[in-house]
Structure 1
C-alpha cells in the first residue's frame, strides 16, 4: 500500500512538472506578444497560444489555426505573431484596435478557425514615422501613449521605426567632449515640439532652453521605448551624424571648416561641419559612441544634410555624402543610411557619392510625384512600405 502511494506521488509529481514545463514553454514564445494580447483583449488571453514558425524565403509569415479548444497565433517574429492576432480580431471577431480608439466587443464564444490561415508579407521593410509627423503627434507623449502606439505598430507589422526621442542626451554627451559649455548645449537643443526641425538642420534652440530634467526624462523614455521595440523584434532608426553642429562651435574652432548654413523659413539653421574636415571624423566617432552607450546597437541611421535648402552652393555634395557614409560605416559596419525623399531631397549629387546597397530612400511624396523614377536604373525600388 505504501509502495502504491509512493508510485502515485511520483507519477503525480511528474505530471505536474510536465504540465508546468509545457506552460513555461508556451509562455516563452514571444512573451511581448502575450503581454500585448493581455492589454488589448484580456478576456481572450487564456484561449490562445502564441507560437513561432520559420520565415518564408526571408519574409515574415504568420499562421492562424485551431489547436484543441485554443487558437494559435504563430509567426516568424513577434511582429508577425502580433499581426496574426490583429487579423483574427478583424476578420473573425469583426473588432478593431486602432490608434484613435478601439471597438473590441468580443463575442462571448470566440469564432472557430476551420481552416488554417497563412499570410506571407511581400515586404522586407515595414517602416513607421517620419520626422515631421513625430512632432505633429508625439511631442508630449508619455509611456502611456507610447505603449499603446508600440502595440498598434506590432499588430500592423511594423519592423523598422524612427526613434529620435533621447537624441538630446546624445548631443549633450557628444558636445561635452568639444569644449561646449552646458549653457551653450542647452541653448542648442530645442523644446519638445521642434525636435524634428532641429534634427533636419532647419533650426536650433527654438522653444528652449530645455532643462536637464527634460533631457533625462527623454532619455529614460527612449530607453523604455527601445526595450519594447526590441522585444517585438523591431529595428530602430536612430539619428546619424551628418555635419550639423551648434552655431557656437563655429566660433570655438575657427581653423576648421564650419559653414554658416543660412536660414530656413526665417529661422537660423545650425552650422554645418564639412565632412572632409578632420574635426568631422572626430565628432562622428564620439557621437556614435555616446549614442551606443546610451541606447545600444542599431543598423539604421537618418539625417538629411541641406534639407529644404541651405547654403550648399560651394559644397561638393557628392564628396559630402561619401564622407558622411564612410564615418557611419566606421562606427557601424554594414549599417544603412536612411534619407527622406521629399521634393528636392535627397539631391542626386549627394546620392552619387553613396553606396546604394547601404542606403535607403523613403519616398515621402510618392502619391504625388514618383521621384524614385529619377534614380533608375542605378537605384532599385525596394520592397517595403511606410
Structure 2
C-alpha cells in the first residue's frame, strides 16, 4: 500500500517482505524481475502509488527450489555474489526453501576420516564440483577428481555462507542428508558394516550403500550430522534419495532401512523434514511404509509430465509439492507445460483428500526461461486459477516496458506453442537445433530432449 514515493510493504519475514516488494514491482510498477533479465532500471524516480491495498498470501507452506543437478549445470565455480543474487531473486518470487548442495562433500570428508580413510583417499573418492550433484544422489564417485584440501574447505565456507544468507532472510536452507553413501571398500575397513554394491550408472561405478539397519550406520550418520551442523549451522529440512535411478536394495528391507535413516536424522536434527524427489518410481510405497510420513515432503518432478497421476494414492497421503522440471541438462530452451500447471495445481489443491503442500521449481539448470520461472512461482500466491492468456499478455508488457502490440502478438504465439506443450511425454520443450553438434540430420540438440 502507500502513496506515490512512499510505498509500505508488510510481511511475516524478510523473505515474505521481499515477495511483497516483488509483487509491487511487477503488478503495480510494471517492471520485470526475470531470471535472467530485469527492467528495474526503468523505474521512475518517484515510485508509483498503490490503489488501495495489494494483498497476497501463500496457498501452500512449501515453496521449494533447485534440482540436485543445478549447481553442476548452472555453474559449480561461482562466487557468493552470484548465489546471493539468485537467492534474492527467488525470495522476490516467493520461494522459501532452497536446496544447498555447495560444500556437500565436507561432512563426508571429515566424518569418513573417523572410519578408516585418509584425507588423500577421500579426496580421490570425491568428484569434482561439477559432478557432485550425481555423487550426492549415489550415482558416481571420483570423476573429475581428485579434489584438493583447499577446494573442499573453500566450498564448505561458500556453502555455509549461502545457508547463512538464506536463514537471514527467513528462508530454509535444505541440506544434503546421510542415507548410506560410502566407498565400495567400506565394509572391509569397518567391522560389522554391511554394504550393498550399487552397480553402474551410465558407465560410472556407483558408491556402495551402507545398510542403514546395520550396526555401523548410526555411528557414521551421527558423525556426518555433527560435522554438518558445526560447519553449516541448523536446518530443519534435509534432502535424501534412496535407490535413485536404478539403485538396488539387495537383501536389505527397504521399509526398515528408511525407518533407520529417518531415526538417524531425527536424532541429529529433531523435528527435521526429510525431502525426497518424486522421480521415476521413487519414492516407492515400500520405502514410505517405513517412515513417519508427516515428517516427509516429496518434491514431485513429474507433476506436469504424465497424465492420470494420483499422488495421494501412490504416496499414501504423504505431503508433496507440485513440481516441474522445465529443462534437462541445463538446456537453453524456452517453453514449458504451463497449461498443465494452470489446470492441475489448484485442482489438486482442492481435492478432498489433497496432500498437496507446496510447489517445487526443479529445472536441471537455472538462469534461463524466465517466463516459466515467473509463472510457476506465481501459482502459490494466487487465490485461484490463473488465466494463461491474460498472464502472458501482462508478462510481455512488463518485460518490454509497456503494452506493445508486436510484443503481445509474439508472446501469444509462444504461449500457444512452446509454453502450452501437451502432457504425456516431456516437461521440457524442444531444444534449439542451433545448440546441436553440427550435422545435416540432427533432430534434437541433446539425447535427453524431445525430438524437433
* Structure 2 unmatched runs, 5+: 320-354, 361-452
Residues 120-162 of structure 1 deviation map (CA, whole Å, 9 limit, x = unaligned): 1111010011202332213222112111101101101111110
Q: 1:236 to 1:348 in 2, by over 3 A?
A: same
Report the aligned-residue RMSD.
Answer: 1.6
Q: Do the aligned residues in 2 keep the contact of 1:164 with 1:238 (CA within 8 Å)?
A: yes
Partner of 2:305: 368
Q: Is 1:149–2:123 an aligned residue pair?
A: no
Structure 1 spans left out of the alignment, 5+ residues: 1-64
Closer, same or farther in 2 for the Cα pair 1:68/1:86, shift >3 Å? closer
Q: Give how far 1:305 is off.
A: 1.6
2:39 equivalent to 1:103: yes
Query: Tell me, what secondary structure is at the counterpart of 2:356?
Result: coil
Q: Deviations over 1:247-281 (max 9, x none)?
A: 23233126421221211112111011101111000
State the partner residue of 1:237. 174
**Is the CA contact 2:255–2:289 (under 8 Å) kept in the aligned structure 1?**
yes
Q: 1:216-258 deviations in whole A, cap 9, x for unaligned? A: 1111111211121111100111111101112232331264212
For 2:235 and 2:45, the matched residues in 1 are separated by 44
Give how far 1:341 is off.
Answer: 0.3
| Aligned: 1:86 with 2:22 | yes
Q: Does 1:382 align with 2:356?
A: yes
Where 2:187 maps in the other structure, the secondary structure is: helix
* Whole-Å separation in 1 of the counterparts to 2:215 and 2:168: 39
The CA distance in 2 between the partners of 1:214 and 1:131, in whole Å, is 20
Match of residue 97 from structure 2? 160
Shift of 1:204: 0.7
Q: Distance in 2 between matches of 1:377 and 1:293?
A: 35
Closer/same/farther in 2, CA of residues 282 and 144 from structure 1, 3 Å limit: same
CA distance in 2, matches of 1:150, 1:367: 25
Relative to structure 1, is the Cα distance of residues 126 and 205 closer, same or farther in structure 2, using a 3 angstrom cutoff?
same
| Alpha-carbon distance in 2 for matches of 1:254, 1:265 | 31
TM-score, L = length of structure 1 = 0.80
Q: Structure 1 or 2: larger strand share?
A: 1
CA distance in 2, matches of 1:185, 1:71: 54
Counterpart among 171, 174, 178 of residue 108 in structure 2: 171
Contact kept? 2:15, 2:91, Cα under 8 Å? yes
CA gap of 1:242–1:161, structure 2 versus 1, over 3 A, is: same
Match of 2:162 in 1: 225
Higher mean alpha-carbon deviation, 95-104 vs 350-359, is at: 95-104
Q: Which among 169, 194, 206 is matched to residue 131 of structure 2?
A: 194
Match of residue 283 from structure 1: 220
Give distance in 2, aligned partners of 1:324 and 1:379: 17
How many residue pairs get aligned? The number is 322
Does structure 2 conserve the Cα–Cα contact (< 8 Å) formed by 1:203 and 1:264?
yes
Are the aligned partners of 2:186 and 2:193 in contact in 1 as well (CA < 8 Å)? no
- Give the stretch that moved more between structures: 290-299 or 249-258: 249-258
| 1:73 matches 2:9 | yes
Runs of at least 4 residues of structure 1 off by over 6 A? none
Q: What SS class does the counterpart of residue 117 from structure 1 fall into?
A: coil
**C-alpha distance in structure 2 between counterparts of 1:267 and 1:133, whole Å:** 20
- Secondary structure at 1:309's aligned position in 2? coil
TM-score by length of structure 2 reads 0.69
Residue 214 of structure 1 corresponds to: 151
Structural mapping, 1:213-362, within 5 Å: 213-253=150-190, 255-362=192-299
Bigger Rg, structure 1 or 2: 1
Q: Is the 8 A contact 2:196 2:249 kept in 1?
A: no
CA distance in structure 1 between the aligned counterparts of 2:315 and 2:203, rounded to whole angstroms:
35
Question: Comparing both chains, which one has the higher relative contact order based on Cα–Cα distances under 8 Å and sequence gaps of 6 or more?
Answer: 2
SS in 1 for 2:69: helix
SS of residue matched to 1:236? strand
Q: Contact 2:127/2:141 (CA < 8 Å) preserved in 1?
A: yes
Using the alignment, how far apart are the partners of 1:329 and 1:124 within structure 2?
21
- Structure 1 partner of 2:57: 120
